[in-house]
Amino acid sequence: HEEIRAINEQGVDLVIITGDLAEQGRAVGLEQQIGAVLLQFEAPLLIIPGNHDYGHFPKLRQPDVPDHGWLNFARVFHPHRFTQLLLGGWRFIGFDTGPSLFSPRILTRGIDAQAVAMLRAAIDEAAKQGLRGVVLYSHAPTRAVLRSNSERARGDGLGSMVAGAAELEGVLLEAARRKLRVLHLAGHTHWSDVFTARPTKDGFDFARWLTDTLPCPRVLDGTVAMITAPSAGLITFPTL
C-alpha cells in the first residue's frame, strides 16, 4: 500500500474518498477488506458510498428500498447519507448520490429537494459563522464532459447525478454571487473535470477547464468550483 504510505508521509490534514471503495459492494468481504486497508491512513478519513458500493444494478422494482450493497457499506463504514465535519475553519459536508440508474449513460439517481435544502442551509450557516468556506463531497458530479479538450460546460449527459443536479448548481452559483468559498468534490467518472463559477453578463455560470491542463497545481479562478477526480484504481478512458 505504497500510495497510502506516500500520503501519510505528506502529513495531510484530511483524506476524502468519494465512493466506489469496492467493485461490487454486494460482496461484503470486499468492503471489509478495503476498510482494513484504509485504517492505515494516519489522517482523519471522510467516505461517502458510490454506485459500485450499492452493487450492479440497484433494485428496479423497489427503488426506495436500500440494496444490501448499501447495507454492507453501512456495516463497515457508516450508515449516514449526510455528514458534516468542521476542520481548520472549513465545513466539510458529504452527501450520498445514490445507486446507478439502469442506463448506459452511467447516471446515478442524485438527490432530492430536501437534500438540496439541507446543503443550502449548511452553506448559509457557514457564512453566518464566518467560516473560511465549505467543501461538499459526493460520489457523482452534477455534470461531466466526455470529450477530452472541449470547452463545452453543459455536460454530455454522461456520468452525472439525475435528480437535484440543476438545483445544486443553483445553490453553488448563488454562493459565487455572494463571494462565498465553496468547492464540490466528486468522483464516479473515470476522467478529470474542473468547472469554475465565473461572472457573465447575466450573473454567474460555470466554465470548464481544458483537460490538457489537468492535473496541475493551478490556482482556482474564483471562489466556487466543481472538481471531479478520476478513479485511482481504474482509468477507463486513458486519453482523458
> What's the pLDDT score for residue 172?
97
pTM across the whole model: 0.90
Q: Any bridge partners for residue 102, and if so which?
A: none
- For the chain, the average pLDDT equals 86
Kindly report, residue by residue over 13-40, the tens digit of the pLDDT.
Answer: 999 999 998 888 878 888 899 999 999 9
Query: Residues 57-79: what's their mean pLDDT?
Result: 75
Reported as a pLDDT band with limits 50, 70 and 90, residue 64 is low
Torsion from C-alpha of 154, 64, 81, 31, nearest 10 degrees: -100
> What's the pLDDT score for residue 28?
81
- Whether the ω angle into residue 57 lies within 30 degrees of 0, i.e. cis, is yes
> What's the pLDDT score for residue 104?
77
Q: Any bridge partners for residue 228, and if so which?
A: 186, 193
Cell of 152: 463545452
> What's the pLDDT score for residue 239?
44
Query: Residues 211-234: what's their mean pLDDT?
Result: 76
Rg (CA), the chain: 17
Residue 135, judged by CB atoms within 10 A of its CB (0-12, 13-18, 19+), counts as: buried
Kindly report, residue by residue over 90-138, the tens digit of the pLDDT.
Answer: 999 999 999 888 777 788 899 999 999 999 999 999 999 999 999 999 9
Kindly report, residue by residue over 154-211, the tens digit of the pLDDT.
Answer: 777 788 999 999 999 999 999 999 999 999 999 998 878 899 999 998 889 999 887 6
> What's the pLDDT score for residue 148?
67
User: How far apart (Å, rounded) are the C-alpha atoms in residues 233 and 169?
Assistant: 28
Q: Which has the closest alpha carbon to 5: 43, 36, 40, 46?
A: 40
Question: Do the Cβ atoms of 41 and 83 come closer than 8 Å?
Answer: no
Query: Residues 85-92: what's their mean pLDDT?
Result: 96
Q: Between the CA of residue 236 and those of 43, 88, 189, 190, what are the distances in Å?
A: 29, 35, 9, 6
Cβ contacts of residue 138 below 8 Å, gap of 6+?
18, 19, 48, 94, 95, 96, 97, 111, 161, 184, 185, 186
